[in-house]
Amino acid sequence: MYRRGIFGKGVFAITLLAGLALGASAQAEDYVITIKDHQFSPTKLTVPAGQRIQLVVKNEQSTTAEFESAELNREKVVEAGSSITVNLGPLDAGDYPYFDDFHRETTGVITAK
Amino acid sequence: MLSTAIIIFREILEISMILGVVLAATRGLSGRGIWIGAGFGGGFLGAGLVAVFAGAISNAASGMGQEFFNAMILFTAATVIGWTALWMRTHARELAGRLRETGEKVTTGELPGFSLSLIIGLTMLREGSEIVLFIYSMALSGQSAGSIVAGSIIGLGAGTVAGMLLYLGLIKMSARYMLRVTGWLLVLLVAGLSSQGAGNLVAAGYFSGFSSQMWNTHWLLAQDGIAGKALHSLIGYSERPTQVEVAFYVVTLLSLLSIMNMMDRHQGKVAAVAVLLVSVCASLAPRSAFALDEIYSPNVEYRELSVEYNGSHTFDNDPAKNNAQEHELAVEYGISPRWEVEASAGFERDPQGTSQLNDFEIENRFQFFEQGEMWMDSGMLVAYDHAVHAGDADTLEVKLLLQKDIGRYTSTANIGFEQEVGVNAAGGPDYVFLWNTRYRYSEYFEPGIEIQSDLGSDNELQHWNEQQHYIGPAVYGRIFGNLKYQAGYFAGVGEGSASSAGRILFEYEMHI
């Protein structure tokens, strides 16, 4: 019915009010945090400040978890057995605590330096 | 009749698949019939509410012109069905997994029984609303009640049989395959709906430069013959399409195919498609009340259910501007990672002193991109507000939602318009601009500054002193665990505003 590639150049209906600033997706570093037995691993993660960062959060539990941090302004559900990508940064130097909103005792810190 | 049958078949198939997963996951749970039944019942009741809303809108239609109203319904149905068809392509398995997980947790007692009802109810609400919207669209396209009913019965019957056979394992056909095939038909249907919407706008007088007929294929396939009628109801075939109808059909089709192509290549990375809602109405407008509003983030909180109270209050020495209050109670839920719905009831107290239930509103927020993926996060809000009092007008609201994080500062802008619709509508769109910047000091305390402006409509757009502008400090955060708050105190700028105003919001959120 369609061939790959041709319709990649398709036309899009555009919103009435303009304002989408489309930046190119920067080359971003990949960091991985795993959730298992209600623990984040690594509990402390250090990332470079001032850069865009791509964080992969893997949930190896049998229950749903959520990666949440007000300091990072992110709140994202990770289903059991799956993983999500969180786009962060550029971050100023400092500590950014986060937690699992489904199990609040589970916490971790991302340090940017 | 054929298109009604296909849509109903697909919706019933989805519903029976959901039922199958839930029944399998709750084996051994006593009393599950009650919880599951309650969920189904609640969901369909909710869909009934959507039908009531559609009915209320239809009563208002005589004010704005039947064709314009038809066009809006057709575009809304096209967007809702199209978006879901695309979403189901990649998320059907995730949805099944989530239903299974909830079912298992209720069976082991980890979750209360009503979570099962809630999750089923919300899924049914979505399916039911699509059915309602689609049937309305078919009625508007001129299909007879008889053919719609016949199509529904056929679809219902076929869908139930197919669902049962799948559940009992009697047919080995992959449900995913069936969803894919009907998905393709839906794409053509959605393009057809969009093009019919355009046709209605042409009849209402829009697009006057592009309404000449493009071709006439009457000789090839007459529209009033049996095959022509079938093709019309299936893919929107028209023997004499205008340039605009062809354009809408092609653009919608290409957009959907491009998105599906992108989805197949980059799972989960879907670009935004928004349908234009044009509303133009040019006459002098009595000012509609402006209250300090919540400033929305374009980012959706998936699977989060919240109950919210939102209130605002003006202060002024002039009794005509003093003590205008608005209170709103709302329930919102992130239905998908990119779509959040909110239903609310609003109470208003005007400066004259009367307090009363004022309106019901349904609001949809759509997130365009993954948060942080683009330079700026963006999304869209589309809301319909139904006024309770006979003399007041309903309102349609459309806003562009933008957000940007720079270090620990988050700035959000909501830019859009509100347009009165229906029998009591008067005046052109009322433009609003809301902005805040806050410093994310901690999850409990985020101080910031907010600006809220009502730029007015028509003549008011040129007169600063007839507009309302407020600016002031605000604070956001969280207390007691799951209770979020927002509070602000503002100075009014310009003679149209009250001298000061305040707003406060509390939101209690839960995950399901």
Contact criterion met (CB < 8 Å) for B372 and A19: no
Q: Do B443 and A69 touch (CB under 8 A)?
A: yes
CB within 8 Å of B352: residues ≥ 6 apart: none
For residue B43, what are its two tokens? 């969901």
- Strand A83-88 with B304-315, pairing: unpaired
Q: Name every chain B residue with its beta carbon within 8 A of the beta carbon of A70.
A: 440, 442-443, 446, 477-478
Query: Which residues in B lie closer than 8 A to residue A89 (C-beta atoms)?
Result: 372
- From chain A, pick out residues whose CB is under 8 angstroms from the CB of B398: 16-17
Residues of A in contact with B418 (CB under 8 A): none
Option in B252, B302, B405 nearest A77 (CB): B302
By CA distance, what is B444's nearest residue in A? A70
Residue in B235, B299, B373, B434 to test binding to A, most A beta-carbons within 10 Å: B373
Question: Could you tell me which of B249, B268, B302 has the C-alpha nearest to residue B86?
Answer: B268
DSSP three-state, residue B346: strand
Whether chain B has a CB inside 8 Å of the CB on A1: the answer is: yes
Residue B32 CB contacts under 8 Å (≥ 6 apart), including other chains: B23, B26, B106, B107, B113, B116
Beta-bridge partners for B421: B394
Q: Does A55 touch chain B (CB under 8 A)?
A: no
- Per CB-CB distance under 8 Å, the chain B contacts of A19 are 378, 400, 402, 415
Cβ of B265 and A4 within 8 Å? yes
- Work out whether the CA dihedral B449, B477, B511, A56 comes out positive or negative: positive
Place of tokens 């709140």: A75
Supply B42's token pair: 């609640």
The beta-carbon neighbor of B273 closest among A13, A74, A86 is A13
| Parallel, antiparallel or unpaired: strands B483-493 and B500-511 | antiparallel
* A76/B94 touch (CB, cutoff 8 Å), yes or no: no
CB contact under 8 A, B511 and A101: yes
Report chain A residues whose CB lies below 8 A from the CB of B251.
Answer: 11, 13
Q: What number of helices (H) and strands (E) belong to chain B?
A: 8, 12
Question: Could you give the ipTM of this predicted complex?
Answer: 0.71
List of domains in chain B? 2-265 (no CATH), 304-511 (2.40.160.40)
DSSP result, A10-48: ------SS-----PPPPP-EEEEEEEETTEEESSEEEE-
Centroid of chain to Cα B283: 28
Of B251, B303, B415, the CB nearest to A17: B415
pLDDT in tens, chain B (512 residues): 777 888 788 788 777 777 777 777 777 777 778 888 888 888 878 887 777 776 666 665 555 566 666 777 777 777 777 777 776 666 666 777 777 777 777 788 777 777 777 777 777 877 777 787 777 777 776 677 787 888 888 888 888 888 777 777 755 556 666 666 767 777 777 787 788 778 777 776 666 666 667 777 777 777 777 677 667 666 667 777 777 787 788 878 877 777 777 666 543 333 333 222 222 222 222 234 567 999 999 999 988 999 999 999 999 888 888 888 899 999 999 998 899 999 999 998 877 777 788 899 999 999 999 899 889 999 999 999 999 888 888 999 999 999 999 988 999 999 999 998 888 888 778 899 999 999 999 889 999 999 999 988 777 777 888 889 999 999 999 988 789 999 999 999 988 889 999 999 999 988 87
Q: Are B373 and A87 an interchain contact pair (Cβ–Cβ within 8 Å)?
A: yes
**B81: number of CA atoms within 13 Å, CB side?**
35
3-state helix, strand, coil in chain B (%, to 5): 45, 30, 30
Angle CA B207–B137–B219, to nearest 5: 65
Rounded to the nearest angstrom, the gap between the alpha carbon of residue B132 and the centroid of all alpha carbons in its chain is 14
- Number of Cβ within 10 Å of residue B249's Cβ equals 25
* Beta carbons within 10 angstroms of residue B180's beta carbon: 13
- Where does A27-112 sit in CATH, by number? 2.60.40.420
Give B276 to chain A, closest Cα distance, Å.
6
Angle of the B175-203 helix axis to the B243-265 helix axis, nearest 10: 150
Pairing between β-strand A65-69 and β-strand B355-367 as defined by DSSP bridges: unpaired
Nearest residue, CB atoms, B255 vs list A11, A69, A88? A11
Tell me how far apart the alpha carbons of residues A66 and A102 are, in angstroms, rounded to a whole number. 6
Closest by CA to B43, choosing from B74, B18, B10, B9, is B18
- Is residue B13 classed as helix, strand or coil in its secondary structure? helix
Give CA–CA dist B246/B258, Å, rounded: 18
Structure token digits, residue B203: 């009849």
- Could you identify the residue written with the tokens 């009435």? A16
- Sorted by where each begins, the domain ranges of chain A are 27-112
